[in-house]
Structures are given as C-alpha cells and as structure tokens.
Structure 1
C-alpha cells in the first residue's frame, strides 16, 4: 500500500478517536434520584364522616346504607356525624328511621332521623300544625292521582234547604285551599316501584288548628267532601277566603255552634 494512503488512514483513525473522546466528555451525567420510601402525609386534613351509601326513602330504616367516608376537615359541618366524636355511630344508627327522604353520598344528620320514642307521623308534622284524616275514594280524590306531598283544595257539597222557600238542589263551596297531603291510607310517599296512582280510603291532611276545626264541622254537614288536586307551582300561594264562618261564630265569643240536618245554628254558651 502506498505510504500516502497509510498516512491518510492513520490521520482518519486518530480524528475519529478524538471526536469520540470529546463527545463522551460532553454528555452530562444525570444526578441520582433519591426516592423516599416513607408514606407522605396528605396536604389536606381529612376526617371520617358518616354518609349514605344508598337512597333511603322516608319512613325506612337506614340498615346497611351508611358508611364512613373521608371528607376534608374544612368541609365538615357541625351537624355531621364524625368517627372522631362518635366512633360507634354506624352501629347505633343502623336501625334508625328516616323522617324524610335521603340520598346516596349525603352526609347523615340526626335532624333527618326520627327521635327515640317519637311516632313517625308526629315527627314529620311541622310545629303548630295538625294531622287530620278524612275519607276519600276515587270519585273524590282526582281519580286516585293524589299522592302524599301533593297540595289540594277541599270542596264541600251539601243539600240546600228547600224548606226555607228555596229551590233545593246542592250547595258547593271550597272550604280549605292549598292543603298538603301527608299520607294516603298508611302510605307517606310515592310507590318506589313507579306506581303513580293510589286509590285509598283515607287522606291525612296537614292543617292549622283553625283548619282542623273547619274540616271537622264540614264532615258533619257535608254530603260529600272532595279533594281537588292543585299544580305544584301553586304550593307557595298565599291562601285567603277559607270557610272560617264554620267555626268563628262571626267573631263572637261565648257561643256554641249546633249542626242539625246540615244546618248551622248558634246558642249562647253557659258560663
């Protein structure tokens, strides 16, 4: 081989080796990563809160539908039940009865449970109100489409007094307006299986003491009491013009109201 080629080949080998050495020194060696094997503490403080693991209808027991769930401490309400304050609450409350419908994921509150020794109806009745039952059937309850928590008007129908020179017939009057239905028979909420109508024999209504007296008098006077279903949009409507005359005595005290043959009369009360 000619000497010139040997010289060129030697120079090329030397250049390649030098380039490799330079490139090797230019590559940065990454710093070793130190992995902490210990468990890191959470950045947000958490507490165990008793929550619903399933829907609980009004009047049902909680059963196994409650569990402890971690919540941020800043989001824990004073009414929540926490494991820190009541570690055995899940066992103690599993037989409690819901006084209103509750839903999965909702924190459990004692205010939504029936207190020990209380009956169900008295626990769901608002303060100052009365629960009064009245007989109904399909003809007098919107064909059975009235359900608990619906609002109704109460209509009284009675025979007119023909002996006073009138033409007889019937008199119809709305005696109570916008009244909430608490229960139909023993059912206090809509059927869970999707049954949308219920033809019961008795409707329990939520009434003020004055309204309770009105419907008691009307039940004695009326040939029929009818419940007329109202729209949900009217639930907050202010009620005026009820049949207060049935019990008010026209504003007079010391009178007794007598009902005979569907007619009202008043006599002075004995002292």
Structure 2
C-alpha cells in the first residue's frame, strides 16, 4: 500500500471519530423541560351508569360518580362534595324521563312515590284520563307515548234542511288541542324502537277542565286523535284560517271553554 492511500485512510478515520464524538456530545446535552399543562378544576358529579328507562325504579347500582369540569357542571347536577350519600338517598326513585349512560342525574327527572308509575310521572295539577280508540281513529297506530295530539269529536245530528225537512248531518269539533299522550294501552313508552303501536285505549294528560270536556264528548259521538308535528308541540294554539274553511260546523273547545261555531262555505 503506497503512502498516499495510507494518508487518505488515516484522515477518513480521524474525521469519522470526530463526527462520532460531536454527535455523542450533542445527544448528551439536557433537553429543555416541557411546559407544564394547566389543570382544569374538576368536580365529581353523579351520572347514570347505564341507560335508565322511563318509569324505571332506580337502584344504587344504576349510579356512579364521574369527574366533570367545574366550569361546565350545572347547578342542577348532584355533586359529591355536597351530597356524598346521593346514590343511597335516590335509590327507589322512579324515572320521570329516560337517562342515557353517562348523563348527569338531576332531581327534576326523578320522583319518590309510594303510588303507581303513572301517578308518579304526572305533573302537578294534571290528570291521566283514558279513552277507547281504534286504529282508524288513532292515525293508524302511529301515535306513540309522549306524542302530542288533538282530540276530535264526530257525531250525527238532525238538522233542518232547506224545505224544513230533517236531514242527517255529520259534524266534527276539536274538543282538545295539543295534549300529551301518556300511554297506549299499558305501554308508557315505545317498545324496541317500534314505529307503530296498535292499542285499544289511550291515556291522555289533561287538566281538570279538559277532563270534563272529554268525559262529555265520549257520550256524544266518536272520538278521533290527530297527530301533531313535534315542531309545534309548544306552539300557541290558534286555529288557522285555512283550517276554518275546511271545517264543517266546527265548534272549537280549548281547555273546556267553547268558542264560536264556524261553518264551511258552500261549494260552487
């Protein structure tokens, strides 16, 4: 091996050693510490451990404590710091509305009652009244618990014709508007996601005045239910002008108070 090659090899080995030394020295330098992450204040709130259905009697096992950001914890949530014995105290209550797993428990959706389920879920001052229905008078079975409906009364009456002759006339009237369906037969909720429930009895949530109106209507003719859109469940009741025109001899009764009768114009 000639002298030139020996010199080149020596230079290459020396350069490699210097590079290795510099690299090891660089890696041994201490890395800057990561900036500390700010910890949000939290609070333990009581939540549903699993889904709780409408009317279900809850047990201690249905609850669990879950860490929740303090800033987003509503005042209606049950906090462990305020009520550490809440699971035991609430056991035996009835769910007035369903809970999904992980949903915070609120006192407003639970009720302690020694009475039956229906009496427990009825709001103060309201009545649960049942009446017979048939599929053809209940939107084909597509009315479900918690839907809102209008109740119509249809009856045959004798009316004086043009020549003074008596003739049969069919008249309908809206006796109740925007009332809540509590149950169909003995079912207070949908079953297994059914889209239709065929039943023979419907239980409605009514005021005392509406209860009287419904009781009188049951003896006067045939009752029908008209399903309302979920969009106008809380709408203010006003009979639209087009509804007045399409209604024959309608005597509208809202909350047991009758209004003026409107008749349909004669068809030309």
Alignment partner, residue 80 of structure 1: 77
Distance in 1, Cα, partners of 2:225 & 2:12: 103
Q: Deviations over 1:162-195 (max 9, x none)?
A: 699521343322222222212112222111x122
Structure 2: 5+ residue stretches without partners: 240-251, 261-268
How many residues end up aligned between the 2 structures? Answer: 240
Q: Deviations over 1:102-161 (max 9, x none)?
A: 111211111110134465334433444433222212232222221111222212122313
Distance in 2, Cα, partners of 1:77 & 1:244: 37
Moved more, 48-57 or 8-17: 8-17
C-alpha deviation, 1:99, in angstroms: 0.4
Alignment partner, residue 218 of structure 2: 219
C-alpha deviation, 1:98, in angstroms: 0.9
Alignment partner, residue 195 of structure 1: 194
Alignment partner, residue 185 of structure 1: 185
- TM-align CA RMSD: 3.9
C-alpha deviation, 1:100, in angstroms: 0.4
Alignment partner, residue 206 of structure 1: 205
The normalised TM-score by structure 2 is: 0.70
Alignment partner, residue 176 of structure 1: 176
Alignment partner, residue 265 of structure 2: none
Of the candidates 97, 100, 103, which is equivalent to residue 100 of structure 2?
103
The normalised TM-score by structure 1 is: 0.69
Distance in 1, Cα, partners of 2:227 & 2:121: 22
Query: Is contact 1:213–1:247 with CA below 8 Å preserved after alignment?
Result: no
Moved more, 106-115 or 86-95: 86-95
C-alpha deviation, 1:26, in angstroms: 5.5
Structure 1: 5+ residue stretches without partners: 251-271
| Structure index of larger Rg | 1
Distance in 2, Cα, partners of 1:103 & 1:89: 19
Alignment of 1:113-124 (within 5 A): 113-117=110-114, 119-124=116-121
Taking a change above 3 Å as real, the CA distance of residues 238 and 78 of structure 1, as seen in their structure-2 partners, is closer
SS of the residue 1:168 aligns to: strand
SS of the residue 2:87 aligns to: helix
Alignment of 1:1-271 (within 5 A): 28=25, 30-31=28-29, 43-63=39-59, 64-117=61-114, 119-161=116-158, 165-191=165-191, 193-220=192-219, 222-240=220-238, 242-243=252-253
Taking a change above 3 Å as real, the CA distance of residues 116 and 236 of structure 1, as seen in their structure-2 partners, is closer
